[in-house]
Amino acid sequence: MIKTIAFALLASTVMAAPAFAAPVCSGNFALDDEWHTEAELNDFNLNLLRSAGVDAVRAEVWGGCIRAWVRVSDGSEEMQFYEPLNLRRVE
């Protein structure tokens, strides 16, 4: 009985771990998605990141965050998450 309970707790912890690793953002965006297409929102966010000095290659809305592929110093791309309104990088 104790082994069954321990296994169930361990299994639920392991399955919930990816949910805890996801970035959390406010989800408040400057443009309303009722009036703009997804492509327009992505282009707006990409230009916003670039104007803030982020070398973003592409950007999209993802779970309340801006998910951007950013060119790093070695020339490769890295996925980074940003808060929509203040462009704070979310770790």
The predicted-structure confidence for 35-73, as pLDDT tens digits, reads as follows: 888 899 899 999 999 999 999 999 998 888 999 999 999
Residue 29 has pLDDT above 70, yes or no: no
Alpha helix stretches (DSSP H) within the chain: 2-21, 38-51
Residue 10 located in a structural domain? no
Residue 2 located in a structural domain? no
Verdict on whether the full-model pTM lies above 0.75: no
Residues 6 or more apart in contact with residue 49 via CB below 8 angstroms: 56, 59, 66, 68, 82, 87
Residue 14 located in a structural domain? no
Residue 83 located in a structural domain? yes
CA-nearest of 33, 88, 91 to 61 is 33
Structural contact between residues 46 and 59, judged by C-beta atoms closer than 8 angstroms: yes
Q: What's the confidence (pLDDT) of residue 84?
A: 87
The backbone torsions φ and ψ at residue 38, rounded to the nearest 5 degrees and listed phi first, read: -65, -40
Q: Could you tell me the residue range of the domain that residue 84 belongs to?
A: 24-90
Residue 48 located in a structural domain? yes
Residue 4 located in a structural domain? no
When divided into structural domains, the chain yields a total of 1
Residue 57 located in a structural domain? yes
Residue 15 located in a structural domain? no
